[in-house]
Structure formats: C-alpha cells, structure tokens
Chain A
Amino acid sequence: MAAEKTIWKKLIWTWKPESEFEAGDSIVRNLLLHWFPSKITFRSLSYRYSFWLGTASAILFGILTVTGVVLMFLYVPSVERAYASIKDIEFAVAFGWFLRGLHRIGAHLMVAVVFLHAVRVFLTGGYKNGVAANQNRPLNWIIGVVLLLSTLLLSFTGYLLPWDQLAFWAITVGTNIALAAPVVGEQTRFLLLGGNTIAQGALIRFYVLHCVFLPMLVLLLFAWHMWRIRKDGGLACADQLALDQKQEKAPPIKSKTYSLLGIAGTRTVHVEAALVDEDRHATPASPSLTLRLLVVILATVLLASLMTIVVEAPLEEPANPAVTSNPAKAPWYFLWLQELVADTTVRVGGLTLNGALVGGIIVPGILVGLLLVWPYLDRSSVRSAGIWFGSDRWRQNIVFLIIVLAILILTIVGTYMRGPYWGLYWPWETWPDLPRKF
C-alpha cells in the first residue's frame, strides 16, 4: 500500500472493519445507519424487486425538508405578502428559482413516486406475511396508506401557499369536493379553511399544516414504517429465500447459531429476521447497502435537479376571488377525482346525480377503504409474498392494475385534455386563446 494512501486513510478513518462481522457491526453501531440490517439479501438489494421507490420517496422527503426550511426564511404566509414573496424568490433571491423549482418538482415527484411504490408493493404482494415470527406486514401496509394520504395532503396544503390564481382555484375546487360529503361536509370545509372562504384563515392553517404538522407526521410514520420492516425480517422477498431453502431441505444453517449467539452480543437486531443462508444469499450491508443507497440518493437528486432546470415552476396572476381561472383545475393528483366528478354528474329526467358525492366522496372513499383492508382479504398463499405477479394473485393484480390504469387515464385526460370551460381537447389541438384585458 502506498504511503499516501495510508495517510489518507489515517486522516479519514479511525477504524476500518477487518471482517464481515465487523462490517456489519459498523452499520449497527452507526448513529445514522443503525436502523439498517447488518446483512442484506441480494434479492432485497436488487433494483428489480423494489425499484427502490420507497427509498426514493424518503430521499425526496429529505430534499423537500431542506429546500422547504430555506423557503421558510423567504416566504411570508400572509395574504398581502405571500404572492410578492414568491415573486421575489423567483426574480431577486440568489438561486431562488432553483430553490423553489426543486421544492415544487420534488413535491410532484414525491406524490408520483410514493404512488408507484404502493403499486409496486401491491403487485409484489409485499404486504403479505412470510415465514418468520412476529411479522405484521399488513400493519405496515396500513401505515403506508396513511403515508400516501399524508403525502397528498402535504402537497395539497403547499399548493395554496403561492397565493396565485392557480393556487386559489385549485384549492377552491379541492375543498368544494369536501362540501359534497353528507352531514359533515360543510363543517369539514369550514375546519380546513378556518372560515367559509379561502382567505387569511385558510392560508395560515395550510401553512402551519404544511410546514409543521404534516412533515412531522410523515417523519414519525416513516420511522414506524422502517421499524416495522426490520421487525418483519426485511422485505417480503427474503421470505421466499427461506421457503426455497426449506424445500431444498438444506442442512441446518450456520447463521442460525450465529444469530442466536447474537442475542447476547451485537446481532440482536437479526433475531427476528427470516433465516436464510447468509453465506449464499446475503452480503454485508457495509458496503453493499450503503453504496446502493448512495447510488439511489444521487440518482434521485440528479433527476430532481435536472427536472427543475427543464420544467418551469408556474406562478400565475395574484389570487383573485372575483375572477375564476379558466379552466379551474385541482392539483394534478386530484384531477382524476375532478374528472370523475365531472363525468358522474348526470341528469336523468328530473333527477340530478350529484357528481361531487359519487366522484369526490364515494369512489375515493371506497378505494381507500379497500386499500386499508385488502391485506386481510387477500387469501393467496405465502408463496405469493414478495414476488412480482405471484401466480395465485393474478386476478387481484389484474383488477388492481385496471384501477391504476383508470386513475392514470383520468389524470391524463384531466391534466392535458381539459381546456377552457372544461372542454375536451386532443393533445394536438391547441386550446383557444382566452381573451385578455389588453
């Protein structure tokens, strides 16, 4: 070893793991990494199983926290100042456009990535328990559903803050859907807005929810989510390895004793894990997991930064309750609902079917309800846990995919094909120019 290399190592590292055991130990003892396993299966590590979408969600949340805290120094949550402070961020603050753009793109990406993560988990049967003791993946799935809803709310509350026409009318559309809820509709909207109109009361409520309560909630739920994954013995795909081993009737696994020994020593965290032949199927988390994590972090930051440069963050005219923006659209992730509301408002003879109730409350209510209980209704075998398109889950996967596809199509129609007066336009048709003052 060259001398300078030794000096470099001496400057950077106080200690270097000498064995696999020490490598695992280095993870478990690290403040930032202690919630990782000391060893991880190749399957869990692969891109093809999870696409690392959950991790990407967490990284996006991190990006949003950092950029959001800086934005808090620049943004003023008052009806008089909010819009102007965003304009200042765009035009006068050094790198302000990038800061705001990254926060905005990060938020959009996070909604999309969290959604895709949930889709991945469903299609792999990731919410199913495997073979190890004390697993409760259905609970983790429920935590996930709450995370999804919190992410949507987080993005929705942030949408109002620029206080421009886009924000104002999107929140108007969004909160009007709440009105359609039977009995509690009006109160819910009142509670959310701090009044009957979108004014200062609503702005400060959304601001506090957006900057304090919802991020804290997501952080807590995320910690719980990760803790559950450890208690569940890692990702569901690892259980398949254990099942394979049982079939092979492999001799008792060395690592079993290894793990039991751990109770007294350093490997306690491993005790509840599904027991797989670690020599064959697993690798020390340091450096395999840490390197992979770094790849995913860099890829996510890179993607978000590039998109920030390419996609301009919109900022329309200042909010004006007297002038409805045309078309008035909810944020894109609720556009499938708005589209549903528009499409389910039908008049049969003298009877008007209230679209807001069907499209805005009943359909999403049923979907969320189904999501919450689905792990308990899914009776497929343990062989379908942690496997893409498990063979005895094909029916539910197809139904699920159809629903996902319907949501995507409605979202695309609502986003790209609804022009002024909610008219339907093909993507190649240009929307008519709306008249202007001058």
Chain B
Amino acid sequence: MVAKNRDVALIYAFGAILLLVTGWIYWDYYRPEWKTYQSGFRGLITGRFGAERAQQIPSGIQQIWVAELNRVDRCVTCHLGLEWEGLEDAPNPYRAHPPGILRKHPLAGYGCTICHGGQGFATDVESAHATGALHWEEPLLAGEIGRANQVEEPKALLQINCNICHRYDAQTEGADYINYAKQIVQEKRCVLCHKVNGQGSLLGPDLTYVGEQSPEHYDYARVPGKQSSIGWHLAHFHNPKDVAPQSLMPNFNFGPRETQALTMLVMSWKRTRLPSSYIPPPKAAPPPPAEAAPAER
C-alpha cells in the first residue's frame, strides 16, 4: 500500500513537471528572436510613416525561395525594409537595400545568400550570419568576418560572390576590388607560372578552382593572422616566402589593397553549378587570355 501511494505521488510529480516542460516549450515557441525584430520594424514604420503603413508589414517567418538556385533565404524575416523607400538611413536590419544592384538581380530571382553569403535557412542572427564557429562554410561576407581576418575593406568581401557568376567579365561594375585584381593578374603575368582555365604554365599550381581548396590544405605555421584560407592567401600575397619559404613565387611587394583584391579573386575561382540564365551573357569586347572562357563553355 505504501509503495502504491508513493507511485501515485510520483505520477503526480512527474506529470506536473512534464506539464511545466510542455508549457515552457510552448512559451518558447512564441518568443523567437525574429519577433523582436519584426515588432521593432513595426515600431519604426509607425514612427516614420504612421500606423496605417505599419499594417502592411507581413508577420511570421518570411522567405525568398529560388527554385532554380535551390536556395531558400529567410533573411527577409528580419531584413524587412529592403525595398521600402525612406529607410536608406535606418539602422540594420531595417535599412533599405542599395537599389542599383537589385535592378539587374531582382531579389525574388536571386535571394540574398548568393551575393552576401550566410545561412539562408536560419531564422536567428547567429545562425543566419554564420560568422561564429558554426557548421556553415559560407559566413556573411561583411564587417565581422572582414575584421576577424584583418582585411583592408571588410565590406568589399562580398564581391567574391559577384565574381562567381561574373568570372568571365573583364570588368564588373560595382565590384571594384575584383576588377582591380583582374587588372593585376594581367599586369603581373601570373600565367607565366600558373595555369588558369587551361592556359598558362605549370611552374606553380593550377589555379582554375583554387577557391575550392580545403582550408586544411594550407600550412598555417607562419601565418600571423587568423587560421583561414583567406588569412593564408593574404599573407602569401603579401610575401610568398613568409608562408612558404621554398616558394618560387616572387614577392611582388603588394600593399594591403592589392593583397585583399587578389585574395578575393582567387577565392572566387570555384566550380559552379548554376542554371545558364544566371550566367551573365558574354560582353562584346574579347576577354583577356587568362580569363578567357574555357572551351567547354
């Protein structure tokens, strides 16, 4: 009888705790991080444009699904003001998007991560921007990652992604670092030692897809900054013999702007599986030899 009463007491106790746990899970469901940003945005719009405009703001998880790119980007759950006029000076995540770039790349057809990096699936800042030690290879290419790697101009890093599509442009408007790097590759005649797109010599490694190289491929023993592929390239372009003492690659005495530009360029040299409609049409002017489209294209 005693045991029976104890069991009944345990059942009530465990039942009560389970009820609390269920309650907590439910309560937690109603307070995701993005909700604070959505109500913040509503407050901002009410303040600037009145309550009526604020009514039009969607609520709940928002996403841009681009079937052709096999991407779903939920960034717009928080970044709600991208296409609003009059929010050019608003703080992030509410700031209006620079409009020029979106004319040729409409958000509905491109999403966000194809240019910015980050984890489109995610609905919290840490996972979405993926700048910490998360299991996500492509962090948001912006201030934080740039500062961690001590690059000259953090904001420009995003141009790496421009060049994944615009690789065979001689010049791409709006990607000044990449354009600069392409110019250096021409002037310094890297193809004397490197093969790129099937052309050049094999004194140094083939660089056609060097951007895919696994970070563990590099030796970081002599790299001063962050242990990352771009950290290695930055140091290597600064002076190849600093990181690879036996290297035949000459020291070109590049400054910080040049090292960042070249690092960004080589990081963008990757294989891509994009639908042909996402590859910019070739320009009238013939592309330079090192960057000529490979035969199979």
Contact = CB atoms under 8 A, between A and B. Distances in A.
Contacts of A92: 61, 63, 74, 121, 123
A287 B8 CA distance: 10
Contact of A165 (B10, B135, B149): B135
A278 interface: no
Contacts of A91: 74, 121-123, 127
Given A92-B61, A288-B4, A317-B135, A87 B18 contact: no
Contacts of A437: 137-138, 215, 228-230, 267
B143 to A, nearest CB: 13
Interface in A276-335: 287-288, 291-292, 294-295, 298-299, 301-302, 305-306, 309, 314-317, 322-323, 326
A317 B136 contact: yes
Contacts of A433: 133, 227
Contacts of A323: 214
B121 A438 contact: no
B11 A295 contact: yes
A317 B216 contact: no
Given A80-B70, A435-B215, A298 B121 contact: no
B112 interface: no
A98 interface: yes
Contacts of A88: 72, 121
Contacts of B135: 164-165, 314-317
B17 A302 contact: yes
A221 interface: no
Nearest to B63: A92
Contacts of A317: 135-137
Contacts of B63: 92
A47 to B, nearest CB: 10
A323 B70 CA distance: 21
A87 B127 CA distance: 11
Interface string A64-104: 00000000000000001000100110111011001000000
Contacts of A306: 21
Contacts of A42: 3
A303 to B, nearest CB: 10
B139 interface: yes
B15 interface: yes
B218 interface: yes
Interface in B109-141: 121-123, 127, 133, 135-139, 141
A277 B62 CA distance: 68
A294 to B, nearest CB: 5
Given A288-B4, A302-B14, A317-B135, A84 B228 contact: no
Contacts of B123: 91-92
Nearest to B232: A435
A94 B14 contact: no
Contacts of A322: 214
A437 B211 CA distance: 9
A164 B121 CA distance: 15
A42 B2 CA distance: 12
A379 interface: no
A222 to B, nearest CB: 24
Interface in A159-186: 164-165
B163 to A, nearest CB: 15
Given A98-B25, A434-B215, A291 B149 contact: no
B220 interface: yes
A438 B21 contact: no
Nearest to B139: A438
A344 to B, nearest CB: 27
Given A92-B123, A326-B216, A302 B18 contact: yes
A437 B11 CA distance: 52
Contact of B4 (A84, A98, A165, A287): A287
B27 interface: no
A436 interface: yes
Nearest to A47: B3
Nearest to A301: B18
Contacts of A84: 70, 72, 121
Given A435-B227, A438-B145, A295 B122 contact: no
B176 interface: no
Contacts of A94: 29
A319 B164 CA distance: 22
Contacts of A98: 25
B68 interface: no
A96 to B, nearest CB: 10
Nearest to B26: A95
A309 B29 contact: no
A436 B215 contact: yes
Interface in A412-438: 433-438
A313 to B, nearest CB: 12
Given A98-B25, A301-B18, A292 B121 contact: no
A305 B18 contact: yes
Interface in B1-59: 3-4, 7-8, 10-11, 14-15, 17-18, 21, 24-25, 29
Given A87-B121, A98-B25, 14 more contacts: A84-B70, A84-B72, A90-B121, A92-B74, A92-B123, A95-B25, A288-B4, A294-B11, A302-B21, A316-B135, A317-B135, A433-B227, A434-B216, A437-B230
10 contacts: A84-B121, A87-B122, A91-B123, A98-B25, A165-B135, A299-B10, A306-B21, A316-B135, A437-B215, A438-B149
Interface of B: 3-4, 7-8, 10-11, 14-15, 17-18, 21, 24-25, 29, 61, 63, 70, 72, 74, 121-123, 127, 133, 135-139, 141, 145, 148-149, 214-216, 218, 220, 227-230, 232, 267
